[in-house]
């Protein structure tokens, strides 16, 4: 039995993946699909953010977060302090990349946001935010999405602000997405049948509804507002496979679960009614290929994707270039690293995790990315484990070759 036949007969194929794979293979053969610039055109500029403050603990990341140009050569970088799970937080760094930057952590409160430089209110006690996505709405208001970690809680929340500094969570009990370990997802299987606990959580508040099945997802999420005012969101679905499946990798932190990319759409960015699978491994991929995230840059010619190319056996994370004319049909013409990882002991020798999108600024494409010198399961490191934010640029009028 070849691998394609095995996929058709396995639970992986039962989730509807084979049809999507076949469509992707057909699209990849179309001659009109563009190709990216040569990876050699990237120039790395080293670390721009690393833990320097007690509240950052031992690790920082800008995974899924925005980088926003300010006046002159200054930038605002949204990022997460994520070394200590008990003290996760999101923060702002402002300044010139490569020089010391001013860091401002969010003040978290279950009440109203205080008068300060950056605060998030209406966030229940002991809930800790990470992976922020900031969007400026057409109304002028600011919206902030993030994953909240708390006791029996892991969910994607939305908060809004008039001034871009003092945010209020809209409804902590009715999130945008749920992770399978969230208390509201207990007793509710995901669309692919992932159910970590079959019985409802007895400690779930009476006024908190159970999770909506289509909104159960993994926690690598990017969200964008489109020109017509609607929203698209790319998040990672978990698909179960049996132990005798070629994709089963026991050394992974989630053995028996395959990561694939789903696209959601919404009129208001708060209630996502549609969900569609858009990127999955196919017969041209190695058996251990998974997709950890999808970050999207919108251009007049279509969407450029930075795809989390996760080789599960090696536990390495690369950034793969992909393309879509519509956000639904994604094409992967190279299937190889676009921004190469460094050689050990470089800070990015084991993993590159893209931020939310590329930024074209002063005739250069800018990428601020999370770098790690450890494998995903942290069993191999090149020196003491580090997680930092690095900066790379490429001079080009477009993202095409």
Domain residue ranges of the chain, discontinuous segments joined by +:
1-49+220-401
**pTM of the predicted protein model:** 0.92
Q: For the residues of 59-86, what is the DSSP string, one character each?
A: -EE-TT--EEE-STT-EEEEEEE-SSGG
pLDDT of residue 32: 76
Would you call 399 exposed, middle or buried from its count of C-beta atoms within 10 A (0-12, 13-18, 19+)? buried
Rounded-to-integer distance, Cα 65 and Cα 78, Å? 6
pLDDT of residue 19: 36
Average pLDDT per run of 10 along the chain, which is 401 residues long? 40 43 44 84 97 94 98 97 92 97 98 95 98 97 98 97 97 98 97 93 95 96 97 97 95 95 98 97 96 96 96 97 96 96 96 97 94 95 95 83 57
Q: Are 230 and 267 in contact (CB under 8 A)?
A: yes
pLDDT of residue 85: 85
pLDDT of residue 123: 98
pLDDT of residue 401: 57
Rounded-to-integer distance, Cα 398 and Cα 376, Å? 32
DSSP 180: T
**CATH (residue range 1-49+220-401):** 2.115.10
Q: In whole angstroms, how far apart are CA 320 and each of 30, 35, 339?
A: 19, 12, 8
User: 231-240 and 316-324 as β-strands: parallel, antiparallel, unpaired?
Assistant: unpaired
CB-CB neighbours of 288 under 10 Å: 18
Rounded-to-integer distance, Cα 167 and Cα 148, Å? 14
Q: How far is CA 244 from the centre of its chain?
A: 29
pLDDT of residue 12: 46
């Amino acid at each position: 039995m070849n691998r394609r036949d095995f996929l058709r007969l396995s639970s992986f194929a039962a989730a509807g993946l084979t049809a999507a794979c076949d469509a992707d293979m057909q699209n990849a053969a179309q001659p009109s699909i563009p190709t990216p610039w040569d990876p050699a055109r990237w120039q790395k500029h080293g670390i721009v953010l690393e833990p320097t403050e007690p509240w950052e603990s031992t690790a920082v990341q800008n995974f899924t977060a925005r980088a926003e140009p300010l006046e002159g050569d200054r930038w605002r970088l949204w990022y997460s302090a994520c070394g200590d799970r008990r003290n996760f937080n999101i923060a702002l760094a402002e300044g010139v990349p490569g020089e010391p930057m001013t860091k401002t952590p969010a003040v978290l409160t279950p009440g109203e946001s205080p008068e300060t430089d950056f605060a998030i209110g209406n966030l229940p006690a002991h809930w800790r935010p990470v992976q922020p996505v900031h969007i400026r709405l057409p109304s002028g208001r600011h919206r902030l999405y993030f994953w909240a970690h708390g006791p029996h809680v892991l969910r994607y929340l939305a908060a809004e602000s008039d001034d871009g500094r003092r945010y209020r969570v809209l409804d902590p009990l009715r999130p945008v997405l749920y992770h399978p370990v969230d208390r509201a997802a207990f007793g509710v299987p995901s669309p692919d049948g992932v159910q970590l606990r079959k019985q409802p959580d007895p400690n779930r508040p009476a006024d908190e509804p159970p999770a909506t099945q289509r909104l159960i997802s993994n926690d690598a999420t990017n969200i964008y507002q489109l020109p017509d005012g609607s929203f698209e969101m790319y998040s990672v679905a978990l698909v179960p496979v049996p132990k005798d499946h070629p994709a089963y990798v026991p050394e992974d932190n989630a053995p028996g679960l395959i990561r694939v990319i789903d696209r959601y759409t919404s009129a208001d960015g708060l209630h996502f009614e549609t969900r569609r699978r858009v990127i999955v491994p196919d017969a041209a991929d190695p058996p251990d290929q998974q997709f950890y995230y999808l970050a999207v840059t919108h251009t007049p010619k279509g969407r450029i994707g930075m795809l989390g190319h996760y080789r599960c056996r090696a536990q390495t994370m690369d950034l793969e270039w992909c393309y879509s004319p519509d956000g639904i049909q994604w094409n992967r013409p190279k299937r190889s690293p676009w921004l190469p990882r460094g050689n050990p002991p470089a800070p990015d020798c084991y993993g590159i995790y893209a931020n939310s999108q590329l930024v074209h600024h002063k005739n250069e494409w800018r990428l601020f990315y999370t770098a790690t010198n450890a494998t995903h399961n942290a069993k191999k490191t090149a020196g003491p484990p580090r997680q930092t934010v690095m900066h790379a640029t490429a001079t080009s009028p477009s993202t095409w070759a």
